[in-house]
Amino acid sequence: MAKAASACLHEGAAADLVRGLKYRGWTALADYMGDRMLPVARALAGDATPTLVPVPLAPARLRERGFNQAALLALALARGTGWTVSPLLRRTRGGPALARLGRHEREQAASGAYWLDPAAPELLRHGLAVLIVDDVITTGATGVACSDALAAGGAQCLGVVSFARTNPLLERS
């Protein structure tokens, strides 16, 4: 993953929005959050017209939550840009909630956790430009793991765009 960009820092009202979407099911927030992500997504894309790839949830987490917040944000970005959304990745395994893990544990949990959907290789064969979408970038481990899986399939990963980013000075090590 060469680049990452976020609309705001994960603090104050922005952190409340993330928690509302992710843990309280306030899915209507996704449109507002996606609108805030538009400028940074466009900056990452440059002249390209990327396919938006939401970070997938593990099947158990998706059943528990009932929705994928990254997919909702990708759809909001698509409405604002005209770009397509394609869920090219799958999560191979569940694991502990990353919010409770430090940097090293996050890297271990994310490494090898994502793989290409069986339909993806045909789409990626010609170097499809993709932009990974997530709600929060903390250490970047998820983005790296997703980018690695996409690149291995032939995609041109332009980066990861998120609504929020934690302040690196506040991260646990």
pLDDT(100) > 60: no
| pLDDT value at residue 103 | 55
pTM confidence score: 0.86
Residues 6+ apart with CB under 8 A from 153: 88, 116, 120, 121, 124
- pLDDT tier for residue 104 given thresholds of 50, 70 and 90: low
Question: Is residue 173 predicted with pLDDT exceeding 50?
Answer: no
Q: Which residue shows structure tokens 């979408």?
A: 133
Q: What mean pLDDT do residues 121-145 have?
A: 86
